[in-house]
Structure 1
Amino acid sequence: MVEQKTLLKLKDKKNLLAFSGGADSTALFFLLLKHNIPFDIAIVDYGIREQSKAEVAYALELATTNNLKCHLLSAPKIEQNFEAKARKIRYDFFEELILKYNYENLLTAHHLGDRFEWMLMQFCKGAGCAEIAGMQKEQNRGFYKLIRPLLHLDKKELLAYLHANKKVYFEDESNLDEDIKRNAFRHNYSLPLLEKYLGGIKKSFEYLDEDRNQLIKDIEIKTVDELAYFKSSHNKRADIFAIDKYLKTKDYMLSANEREALRSSSSAVVGRCFLITQERNFIFIVPYEKEVPKMDEKFKDACRILKIEPKLRPYLYKNREAFQIVTELLTTVS
C-alpha cells in the first residue's frame, strides 16, 4: 500500500509519526511496522473529549509493545478558533521534538480524501492549478521533511486494511460535526464523489501533480531569524506560491483576497502580522511592525537611496542584521 519510492526515503532515517489513534494514523502505524521503517510517535491530547484518554492510553500501549518512544503533549485549553489553534499547537510540538531528538522526517496520515476535500475548498475560494493540486507527498520544511505516505490511498482502502488485519482504532465523533467547514465539504461533496469516481479522481491528481511540476519551479527561500527572502522568478504565480508555502510553515494561510493583493501590488500586509514586499529583484517577508519607531537620519537616508518600501523600514531599523542583508542584496542589483 505504501509506495516503494516512499519507503526508500524512510529507510534508515529518524522518522516521527503524528499519531491520533484514528483509522488513518493507526493504519500508517502498522504499515510502517510491516515494512520495518524506524519511527517514534507523537500524540496531542486537547482534553475536550472523554475518548481522548483512551486514545492516549492506546498510543502508549502501542509504543511500549513495539519498543518505540511515545511523545505526549497535554494541550492548554483552547477558548476559540479551535481548528487553527489546535493545528498550531500540534505542529509547534512536532517541531520541538524534531529539533530536540534530531528527527529527519515528520510523517502524517493524510489520505486521498483529505487531499480532495482540501482541493474542493480551495477551488470554491478561488484558486489556480498550484493551489488545487493541494497537499504534496513530500514537502521540505527547512530542518525536516513533511512526508505523507498515504496520500494516494482512499479512506476505504485504509479501513479495509485495518479490518482485514483486525487492528483497533478510534472514531473521532467531532468528524461528524458539519459546523466545521472541512467536515461539511467531506460529507456533502468529497465522499459522494469519491464513492462514484475514485479511479478518475486518482488519475486527475496524477495529472495535476505533473502540471504543477511543469508550471511551478521550486524557489529557494533563505531565512535569517525572522527575515525571509528570495530572488523573484518574474512569474507572479510562482512567487505567490513560494510565499504561500513559506507562510504555511509559520502557520498562516493566504486568503484568496490576499493572493489577489500580492498579484496586483508590490507590497502587502497579510493577516495584520506579515509584510511581503518586492524590492527590485528580491521579495522579502518579515513580521509587520504596526508601530513606527523614531529613526535616525543616517538610517532614513540609506533607505531613501535604496528606495526601500516605508512599511519595511521599521522592521529593518529594529533588526540591523536584516538591514545589512537587504542593503547588500539591493546594492548588488544593477
Structure 2
Amino acid sequence: MHVSRNLQKNGHSQPLRAMSELLHLDLLKEGKVLLAFSGGVDSTALFHLLLDHGIAFDIAHVNYHTRDTSDTEEQSAIALAEQYSLQCYTHSCRLSGSNFESRARDERYRFFTYLMTKHGYTYLLTAHQLNDRLEWLMMQLCRGSGLPEILGIRSLDTRNGIKILRPLLEHDRESIEAYLYERNISHHLDESNSDERYTRNFFRHRYSAPMMRDYTDAIRRSFRYLEEDSESLLETMNFTVIQELSYAANPSNMRSLIYGIDHFFKSRGYLLSKHDKEALKRGGEHILGRRFTVSIDTHYTFITPYESGVMMDKGFREECRELKISPKLRGYLYGAPHAYSVIRQLKGAPAPLRFD
C-alpha cells in the first residue's frame, strides 16, 4: 500500500527549495520525455518535480512480481498517471535464476527502448540520485575499475541508442525524502532495499549511507570535479554507422580507446567483460561474444557483425590482403558492398572495386 515516511525535519544542509533545481532542465523541455517509474521514493519525487516545472512526460512501470505488493504498486502507477492525464505503460515479467539485478536491468531497458522508439520520446528519465552514485563508485572501486567505470552513472548518457537524463543526480536521498514529507506525497517502500544479499544494499547500509550523512556537500562537489576531469582526460570516439559497419578515428591514448569502444557497446546493450577489455588493449582483431568483430588498426577502429565460413571472390580476398583489411572483417564486408567501399576509401584505395 501507499505510505508516507514519518520524517522529522533535521536541519539538513539542502533546503526544500533546492529540490526545484533539476539537472538539464533545458533538455527536459525539448519535446516529451518518458519517466522510468517504480513508485518508490526517488521516482515519485521526480514525478512531482516534473509536474511542478510543467514538463510534458509519460511514465513506464515494470512489474517483476517479486513482492506481495508488486501488483498493487503497478495499479498505483496506473492510477497516478490517470489522475494527471498521463500515459502509463506497464510491463509484466518474471525472472528466475541468478544475477537478478543485471537481468532485471536488461529487461526494463529493452522495454524502455521499445517505448522510446515506438512513441518518439526525446529522453528517458531515471531517478538515480547522489547516494546511488556513491554506492556505484564504491562497488566499482572494489572491482578494480578506472575513472570511466567509476563515473558510470552520469547525468546525460546513452544506452541501446536512446538518450538518458538523470535530473536528480545531485540530490541526496535525505533531501528527496524531506521533499516528499513536506509535500505530504505518498509513495511505496521497497522492502528489498534492506536485504543485504543484494550487492548495492550491502554497500549502501555498511558504507555509503554513513558517509552521506556527514559529507553530503563534499561528495557532491567531488563528483562534479571527477566528471570535469574525466571529460578533459578522455577523448571522444565518434562512431559513424554504414549499414552494420561502425567505425571511428582512434584517439591518441589507449584509455580513451578502450573507453570509447566500451561505451559504444554499452549504448547498444552489450557489456564488455574484463577479459574483453584487456584483449582490446593489444590492438589487432577480436571476436566478442561470437557476435561482433572489432578491428583496431593504426588510424581507425572498425566494428561489424562476425560472419564466418563465407565463400569469397578471389579478387575480393586479394584486395583485402593488399589493403590490410582484417581477415575477420571480410566475411561481413563481402556481402555489404557499401560498407566495404567506405573502408576502401579510409584505407586510401584509389581504384574501383576489382570484383565488381
* TM-score, normalisation: structure 1: 0.90
SS in 2 for 1:223: strand
Which stretch of structure 1 is more off in the superposition, 304-313 or 76-85? 76-85
Matches within 5 A, 1:315-326: 315-326=332-343
Q: Tell which deviates more after alignment, 60-69 or 186-195.
A: 186-195
Give the secondary structure class of the aligned counterpart of 1:59: helix
Q: How far is 1:224 from its partner?
A: 3.2
Choose which of 321, 328, 332 in structure 2 pairs with 1:311: 328
> In structure 1, what residue type is equivalent to 2:179?
Y
Kindly report structure 1 stretches of 4+ aligned residues shifted beyond 6 Å.
none
Question: Which of residues 280, 293, 296 in structure 1 aligns to 2:313?
Answer: 296
Q: With the length of structure 2 as denominator, give the TM-score of the two structures.
A: 0.85
Paired position in structure 1 for 2:226: 208
* Residues 159, 266 of structure 2: 8 Å contact kept: no
Aligned pair partner of 1:151 in 147, 160, 169 = 169
| RMSD, aligned CA | 2.3
Change (3 A) 1:261 1:143: closer
Give the one of 101, 106, 124 matched to 2:124. Answer: 106
Greater RCO between the two (CA within 8 Å, min separation 6)? 2
The percent identity for this pair of structures is 43
Task: List per-residue Cα deviations over 1:142-165 (Å, max 9, x = no partner).
Answer: 864210001111111111111121
Other-structure match for 1:236 = 254
Q: How does 1:282-293 map to 2 (within 5 A)?
A: 282-289=300-307, 291-293=308-310
Residue 237 of structure 1 and its aligned partner are, at CA, apart by: 1.4
Q: What SS does the corresponding residue of 2:296 show, helix, strand or coil?
A: strand
Q: In structure 1, what is the Cα distance between the partners aligned to 2:160 and 2:296?
A: 23
- Quote the residue 1:53 is aligned against: 71
Amino acid at match of 2:345: E
Query: Once the 2 structures are TM-superposed, how far is the Cα of residue 221 of structure 1 from its aligned partner?
Result: 1.4
Residue in structure 2 matched with residue 162 of structure 1 by the alignment:
180
Task: Specify the code of the residue in structure 2 equivalent to 1:42.
Answer: A
Cα deviation, 1:144-192, whole Å, max 9, x if unaligned, reads 4210001111111111111121112112223333333222222222222
Q: Quick one: which amino acid aligns to residue 219 of structure 2?
A: I
CA 1:274–1:122 in 2, change beyond 3 Å: closer, same or farther? farther
Greater CA deviation, 116-125 or 1-10?
A: 1-10
What is the aligned partner in structure 2 of residue 184 from structure 1? 202
Q: How far apart are 1:109 and its partner, in Å?
A: 0.4
List runs of 5+ in structure 2 lacking aligned partners.
Answer: 1-18, 351-356
The partner residue of 1:194 within 212, 225, 229 is 212
Aligned in 2, Cα 1:322/1:197: closer, same or farther, shift over 3 Å? same
Unmatched 5+ stretches in structure 1? none
Structure possessing the higher radius of gyration over alpha carbons: 2
Contact 2:23-2:167 at 8 Å conserved across structures:
no
Contact 1:280–1:330 under 8 Å retained in 2:
no
Q: Which moved more, 1:273-282 or 1:319-328?
A: 319-328
Structure 1 position 135, deviation (Å) = 1.7
